[in-house]
Every structure is written in C-alpha cells, then in structure tokens.
Amino acid sequence: MAWVDAVLDFDQGLFAITIISSLAATAGMAFWLRRAGSTQAGGGQFPPALGRPEACVFLFDSLGLIGATPPARSILAAEGAADDWQGLRQAMRSRFPDFPDAAALADGERQSFEAVDPFDPAVLLAEQIDGTTRIEVIDNSGHAGRDASPAWQQAQNVQLRRMMQAAPYPTWRIDAEGKVVWHNTAYADLFARIRDGAPLRESSLFGQTHGDKPVGSTVRTSLHLRDENQTLWFDVTMQDFDDARLFFAMDVSAVVNAETTQRKFVQTLTKTFAQLSIGLAIFDRNSQLALFNPALIDLTALPVDFLSARPSLLTFFDRLRDNRMMPEPKNYSTWREQMAAMVAAAADGNFQATWMLPSGATYRVTGRPHPDGAVAFLFEDISAEVALTRRFRADLDLAQSVLDRIEEAVVVFGPSGTLIKCNRAYRAMWGVDPDAGFAQSTVVDAMRIWHGRLGPSRLWGELRDFVLSREDRVAWSSDLGIGDGRDLTCMIDPVQNGATLIRFRAASDPVARQRIPHTSTTV
C-alpha cells in the first residue's frame, strides 16, 4: 500500500531529523563548554565553568535553564525562585539591581555587573555563545556564588549593626531567661527618658507585653513620662530570633491622640445632635442608616429598635409611608421613582420639600450630601411657622378688604418712598394698579401719575418731600382744583414706623370742603 509506505518514510525522516538535531545541540554544547573552559587560558576573563563544582554558573537557552552548578542551584532554592531567567533575576536583584530583564545579549557579547554594595567584591559575568547564555557569579577573592569573602561578611555585619543602632524605633533582644541581651540606641534613649538611667539587663522597659501571644503579633502598650506628664503609646511586635526573641516598638502616640480627639469630637457631635429640635438621619455610602438623633424619633414616631437596626434608605421611607408620616403616594411604582429622584437630588444638595401630613402637621424635609458618599436628611416641624404665615396672610387680606370698603382713595408709602398698599378707590381714581408690574411703585412714580392727570402743582413736590422726610412730621391737608368745578382734598397723615397715609377726597361743594378738618396732629 503506497500510502502506508509514505507514512513510514515520513516517520523515519522525522526520526532522523530529531536525531540529527539532538546531535547538533550536543555538539554545540560541547563546543561551547570547551570554549568556556579555554577562555581562562587564553584571555583570563572567565574561569573554568562546569568543570569546577564549586563555581556558581547558570546556563540558559531559549527554553530556560538547561544547566547549573550546585552553588548556583542553592541560590535559586534559598530565594525560592523558579528555574528560569525571571527566577534568577529575582534571586539576584538585591545584590545586582542592574541584572537585565531578559537574556538579550548578542552572540559573542559579554557583560559584567558589579554588586551594588561597595563592600561586596562580587561580579556577575554574562556571555552569549551560539544561542546559549552563561551566567557566573564570582568575587575578587575567588569566592563564588553566595559564599562571600570574609572581609565582605565582616563589612556586612558592621553595616547591619550600624543600621540597627541607627533605627529610630526601640529594638531589643531577650533571651530564654527573659533578660535583655541586646538593645539599640533608640531603646537606650527611651529608657533614659522613662527611668533616668542606663537600660537594665534584668527586665525589659516594656515588661511582659506579649505573654502567650503568637510570634509576629503586635501589642499596643503605653509608657508614662513623669517629668513631662505625658503618656507615650507604642505598638510592640515580637519575632523569634534563634533561641531568643526580638522586639520592635513603634511610637503610635500621634495615632492614639488622633483617635482620642476623633472620639471626643464624635461624642460632642452626638450631644449636639441630641439637643437639636430638627430630626437628623444620616445614611452611609451603602444607603444604610448610620446616625440619628432623638428628635427624629419624636418627629417620625419610628421605634428605636427599628432605627438601631440600621435600615436601608428605602426601608426607612417605606416605614414613614406606612405610619402616614409622609404624603401618601398615588401609586407605589411612582412613589419608588420619586424616592430614587429624591435620593439623587439629596446627593447633589438640591432636595427640599414641604410635607403636608394627614395629621395636619407640616414638615420641611431637606437632603444634603456628606463626605464619602453619605447623605443626610433633616426633618423640621414647621407647623407653627406655617400657621403663623397663614394667620399673617389672613390679617393682610382682612386689612386690604377693610381698605377697599373705604370710599376715599387711600395710599400708604413706606419711609423709603415705596408704595406699600392702596385701596380699590385709589386704583379707580388714578387708573393704576401698582401690583400689576414686577417693580415696586414709589412716591415718585405716583407723583408722575398725579401730575399727568391734574397737571403741575406745588402739592406734588410737597407730598414727595413729606413722604421722604424724617423730621417735623405732622398731619396736614390741602385742596386742589380738578378742573371740572370740583376740588380735590388731599389729607396727609404720618403713621407708625415712618410710613405716610395719603387720602384723596373729591368735594362737591364749598360746604363739604369746610367740613374737612385742617388741624395738625404730631405723630
């Protein structure tokens, strides 16, 4: 069968290609290793690689790590890094921060990277040969990999001791017997502030802070400064250290003081809210009731246990509707839409409504935004204010009705000359309606109308001056000819708060004019 023979020929060809590729890779690796081993003799730049087990060498190709010496693998294992380029970079970045992100060397290219620590003589060497990258870590003393030279180790120890001494946080070490075997400068300084002396070996300044607390736990404790009458607060963290325990104390006095100030401020606000006559309900960003005051209970008649359960905003208004403490909606779906619009308006600070309750009470409800997405609603009983306004409006309507029953044309001007009130007879006599326009009418506007109807007269100027005057205000009157044989009597009386009452009466005969009193009465 021809197709079977073709498949067999193809498999044999594929097998041959695989064998040839493997042999080529092996030959290339052997050639590279021979070259790597010969560079030491020729140029002295690279020591023998995999021929020395104590050397720290990594070999990479495009697929990842293909070889590493025992010291090299110990580096990856100690750092918990993966067997790839990124894992090696993770293991090396603290010592060689310039280690490249990827194996991007050109063929035949060599690079070296020095350790960031000036006391560390180590150098990282990288070389690319025939698609394989070789990484070696050595130092000038001949120590490879993580085995640093004694001089570097000593320098590192000195640096670490200096850093621990310079740390601003009190740090101390306690042995198995509970004695302080080591402490830093910050601990000694704090000890001197608290107890006036050198640190004691027998016991810690902070005492037994942790007890049975687990390793890594943090305990908040305080120390009192007697001379300064001040309390210092610290968060003390414990860690195991060989056969002893290491403690770190962080000063959190500012945090504790801020928390205390905030707590006092909240208490002050709570007391203030409790004394308000306006009901307050604050909902957090999740629309849950976060704060309310006693006035809210009085105004809404909602039970305390319901409010303490932190109901949602819609549940809160649902209960108000059930208790008939808000206007009854025509249908529930529309009411839900109105509630959503109300919440949106309150979040923008634009919500204010007046609720006429079935009980006859009137509430003013205002919505205001608060930080972090919270919304506050204020409930104010304005029933007395509304009743007073209605009563005042009724009194004004009654006064206007009385004025309209007077046959004389009556007009009242305020102390600034503004027309305050006039009756129906005045409107009919002069053919004007001061309430028809948006602008307020004044005595000057009225004087123009009088002048236009009756012509020029010295009386108009005298009326204007009297209305605007503040002194020598006594009642007086004057007659003015209308032009059709009749006379117009104008009577001017100062009234309360600097206002002026002017009455116009058309007299039909001289006898009627004589009956008009001309006596002056000081007001």
pLDDT band at residue 508 under the 50/70/90 scheme: low
Q: What Å distances lie between residue 339 and 125, 217, 268, 278, 367, CA to CA? A: 71, 48, 32, 21, 12
- Of 399, 451, 444, the closest CA to residue 422 belongs to 399
Burial of 149 per CB tally in 10 Å (0-12, 13-18, 19+)? middle
Higher pLDDT among residues 13 and 358, named by residue: 358
Show the domains of the chain with their CATH numbers: 31-149 (3.30.450), 167-255 (3.30.450.20), 276-381 (3.30.450.20), 402-514 (3.30.450.20)
> Over the stretch 297-356, which tens digit does the pLDDT of each residue have?
999 999 999 999 999 998 998 899 888 888 877 666 677 777 788 888 877 777 888 999
Q: Residue 111: pLDDT above 60?
A: yes
Least confident window among 196-200, 288-292, 498-502: 196-200
Give residue 511's Cα distance to chain centre.
Answer: 84
Q: Residue 171: pLDDT above 50?
A: yes
Residue 492 is predicted with a pLDDT of: 94
What's the mean pLDDT in 51-65? 79
Residue 304 is predicted with a pLDDT of: 93
Q: What Å distances lie between residue 144 and 32, 115, 121, 128, 253, CA to CA? A: 21, 13, 11, 20, 48
Give the dihedral sign, CA 31/36/40/45: positive
Residue 484 is predicted with a pLDDT of: 65
- Of 122, 120, 118, 164, the closest CA to residue 139 belongs to 122
> Over the stretch 263-289, which tens digit does the pLDDT of each residue have?
998 888 888 888 889 999 999 989 899
Q: Which residues contact 376 (CB under 8 A, 6 or more apart)?
A: 280, 281, 282, 283, 346, 367, 368, 369, 370
> Over the stretch 92-109, which tens digit does the pLDDT of each residue have?
887 888 888 776 677 888
Residue 365 is predicted with a pLDDT of: 92
- Residue 148 pairs with which residues in a beta bridge? none
Residue 25 is predicted with a pLDDT of: 44
Residue 507 is predicted with a pLDDT of: 66
Q: Are 46 and 135 in contact (CB under 8 A)?
A: no
Q: Are 325 and 317 in contact (CB under 8 A)?
A: no
Q: Residue 490: pLDDT above 90?
A: yes
Least confident window among 43-47, 70-74, 213-217, 479-483: 43-47
pLDDT band at residue 230 under the 50/70/90 scheme: confident
- Residue 282 pairs with which residues in a beta bridge? 291, 376
Q: Residue 379: pLDDT above 90?
A: yes
Residue 472 is predicted with a pLDDT of: 81
Q: What percent of the chain has pLDDT over 70?
A: 81
Give residue 512's Cα distance to chain centre.
Answer: 80
Average model confidence (pLDDT) across the chain: 80
Q: What percent of the chain has pLDDT over 90?
A: 30
Residue 137 is predicted with a pLDDT of: 86
- For 268, the token pair is 């002050």
Q: Are 290 and 284 in contact (CB under 8 A)?
A: yes
Q: What is the spatial distance between Cα 158 and Cα 195, in angstroms, rounded to a whole number?
A: 30
- Residue 489 pairs with which residues in a beta bridge? 479, 505
What's the mean pLDDT in 400-415? 93
Q: Residue 17: pLDDT above 50?
A: no
Least confident window among 292-306, 414-428, 471-485: 471-485
- For 108, the token pair is 């035949």
pLDDT band at residue 204 under the 50/70/90 scheme: confident
Q: Are 133 and 60 in contact (CB under 8 A)?
A: yes
What's the mean pLDDT in 130-150? 67
pLDDT band at residue 159 under the 50/70/90 scheme: confident
Q: What is the spatial distance between Cα 380 and Cα 508, in angstroms, rounded to a whole number?
A: 59
Q: Residue 386: pLDDT above 50?
A: yes
Give residue 318's Cα distance to chain centre.
Answer: 30
Higher pLDDT among residues 516 and 222, named by residue: 222
> Over the stretch 127-138, which tens digit does the pLDDT of each residue have?
888 888 888 888
The residue ranges of DSSP E strands in 17-69, in sequence order, are: 57-61, 64-68
Least confident window among 194-203, 241-250, 309-318, 435-444: 194-203
DSSP codes of every residue in 339-353: HHHHHHHHHTT-EEE
Q: Are 49 and 57 in contact (CB under 8 A)?
A: yes
Q: Are 506 and 460 in contact (CB under 8 A)?
A: no
Q: What is the spatial distance between Cα 180 and Cα 7, in angstroms, rounded to a whole number?
A: 81
Overall size of the chain counted in residues: 523
Q: Residue 45: pLDDT above 60?
A: no
pLDDT band at residue 141 under the 50/70/90 scheme: low
Residue 255 is predicted with a pLDDT of: 94
- Of 483, 485, 489, the closest CA to residue 454 belongs to 483
The neighbour count for residue 163, using CB atoms within 10 Å, is: 10
Q: What is the spatial distance between Cα 145 and Cα 137, in angstroms, rounded to a whole number?
A: 5
